[in-house]
C-alpha cells in the first residue's frame, strides 16, 4: 500500500544523506574517458561501481552485490540486493544507468564524462544505499539497487534484466529510475514523468515529497518516448516512476557531449541530493511493508 507510516525511520535517515558523497561519486565516474557499453573504460567503470557497492555491503549476510552479464556486449550491470526479512518475495528496484555516450560513433577513445547523464543518478542511488546500510536498516521487502549497462543504445541492460525478472516471475512492487538528477534547469526541483510510468506510484512519490520534503517543488512532464530505463520495467507490466531534474524543455543541453561535466552542473550536488532524499523515503516507506 502507499501508506506513509514510517516517519520515525525516514526522519532519522534523511539527515544522514550528504551531497559531498554524491559529488565524490560523480567526480570518480566522470573521470573515466567514457563509460560506453563496448569500451574498456565502460567495463572498468562497471567494475568500480561493483567494488564500491561491495564496500558498502561490508559483511552483512543479507546484502549481496553481483554483476549481471549481458550476452552481446562486455559492460555488465551491477545489482546490490538487501534481502527482506519477512516479506522478501516482494521486491523494490531503484536504478540508474552507468554507461555514457557522445552519440553515434562513440568509441574507445571518445571523451564522454556523462556527469549528469547518468553519473548523477548512480551517485544519488549510491548515497541512499550507503545510509541504509550504515544505519543497519532492515527492510521487510527486498530492495535492489541497479546500475544498468547500455541504456544509451536502447535501454538494453535494463531490458535484459526486466525481462529476466518477468520470466522468473519476480514480484517487483515498484521500480524507480534516476537518470539525470543534478542539472537544475527549472524553478521546480523534481519533475515526475507521466509517460511510461505508473500514475498511482507517481502520486505516492508526490505525497512522499509533500510529507518529507515540503520545501521542494514538484512538477510533471513527459518525454514523449521511452527515454530511460523506467520504460523497461513499464514494458514488463511493473509499476515504474521517473523523477527527473527539470522539465522536458529545460533539460540539460550538455548531455551526450564532452561538456556533460560537473562544471556544467555548477560544480555541486545539492540538486542530486534532493533525489537521494526522495529515493530514500520511497525505499523505506515501500521497503517496510509486510506481506
Binding residues vs Zn ion (CB under 5 A): 117-118, 152, 179
Q: Could you tell me which stretch among 76-84, 211-219, 243-251, 273-281 binds ligand IPO (CB under 6 A)? A: 243-251
239: its cell numbers = 509499476
For position 184 contacting ligand IPO by CB under 6 A, the verdict is: no
Residue nearest to Zn ion according to CB distances in the complex: 179
For position 248 contacting ligand IPO by CB under 6 A, the verdict is: yes
169: its cell numbers = 516471475
Beta carbons of 17 and 215 less than 8 angstroms apart: no
Of 191 and 212, CB closest to ligand IPO: 191
Q: Could you tell me which stretch among 56-64, 133-141, 210-218, 248-256 binds ligand IPO (CB under 6 A)? A: 248-256
Query: How many whole angstroms separate alpha carbon 33 and alpha carbon 57?
Result: 27
Residue 153 CB, nearest approach to Zn ion (Å) = 10
Q: Is 151 a catalytic residue?
A: yes
Of 96 and 239, CB closest to ligand IPO: 96
Cis status, amide bond into 25, omega within 30 of 0: no
For position 198 contacting ligand IPO by CB under 6 A, the verdict is: no
Q: Is 256 a catalytic residue?
A: yes
Q: Which of 63, 79, 227, 284 binds ligand IPO (CB under 6 A)?
A: 227
Catalytic residue among 19, 116, 160, 179: 179
The CB density around residue 164, as the number of other CB atoms within 10 Å, is 12
Q: Is 97 a catalytic residue?
A: yes
Candidates 283, 271, 266; CA nearest to 216 is: 271
Query: Is the torsion defined by CA of 96, 99, 105, 111 positive or negative?
Result: positive
Of 118 and 189, CB closest to Zn ion: 118
Query: How many whole angstroms separate alpha carbon 233 and alpha carbon 166?
Result: 9
Residue 19 CB, nearest approach to ligand IPO (Å) = 22
Q: Is 195 a catalytic residue?
A: no
282: its cell numbers = 520511497
18, 65, 66, 176, 221 from 137: Cα distances, Å = 17, 17, 20, 19, 33
Catalytic residue among 70, 97, 234, 271: 97
Amino acid at each position: 500500500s502507499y501508506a506513509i507510516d514510517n516517519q520515525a525511520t525516514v526522519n532519522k535517515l534523511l539527515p544522514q544523506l550528504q551531497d559531498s558523497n554524491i559529488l565524490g561519486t560523480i567526480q570518480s565516474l566522470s573521470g573515466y574517458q567514457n563509460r560506453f557499453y563496448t569500451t574498456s573504460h565502460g567495463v572498468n567503470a562497471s567494475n568500480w561501481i561493483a567494488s564500491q557497492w561491495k564496500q558498502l555491503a561490508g559483511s552483512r549476510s543479507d546484502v549481496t552485490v553481483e554483476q549481471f552479464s549481458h550476452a552481446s556486449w562486455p559492460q555488465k550491470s551491477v545489482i546490490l540486493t538487501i534481502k527482506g526479512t519477512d516479506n522478501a518475495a516482494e521486491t523494490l528496484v531503484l536504478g540508474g544507468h552507468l554507461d555514457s555516450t557522445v552519440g553515434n560513433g562513440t568509441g574507445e577513445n571518445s571523451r564522454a564524462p556523462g556527469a549528469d547523464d547518468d553519473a548523477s543518478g548512480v551517485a544519488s542511488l549510491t548515497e541512499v544505499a550507503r545510509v541504509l546500510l550504515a544505519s543497519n536498516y532492515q527492510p521487510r521487502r527486498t530492495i535492489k539497487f541497479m546500475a544498468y549497462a547500455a541504456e544509451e543504445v536502447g535501454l538494453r541492460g535494463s531490458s535484459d534484466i526486466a525481462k529476466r525478472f518477468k520470466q522468473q516471475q519476480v514480484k517487483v512492487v515498484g521500480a524507480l529510475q534516476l537518470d539525470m538528477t543534478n542539472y537544475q534547469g527549472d524553478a521546480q526541483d523534481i519533475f515526475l514523468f507521466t509517460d511510461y510510468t505508473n500514475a498511482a506510484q507517481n502520486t505516492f512519490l508526490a505525497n512522499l515529497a509533500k510529507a518529507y520534503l515540503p520545501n521542494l517543488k514538484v512538477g510533471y512532464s513527459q518525454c514523449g518516448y521511452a527515454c530511460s530505463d523506467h520504460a523497461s520495467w513499464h514494458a514488463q507490466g511493473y509499476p515504474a516512476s521517473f523523477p527527473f531534474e527539470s522539465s522536458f524543455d529545460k533539460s540539460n543541453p550538455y548531455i551526450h557531449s564532452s561538456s556533460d561535466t560537473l562544471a556544467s552542473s555548477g560544480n555541486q550536488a545539492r540538486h542530486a541530493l534532493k533525489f537521494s532524499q526522495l529515493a530514500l523515503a520511497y525505499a523505506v516507506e515501500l521497503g517496510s511493508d509486510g506481506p
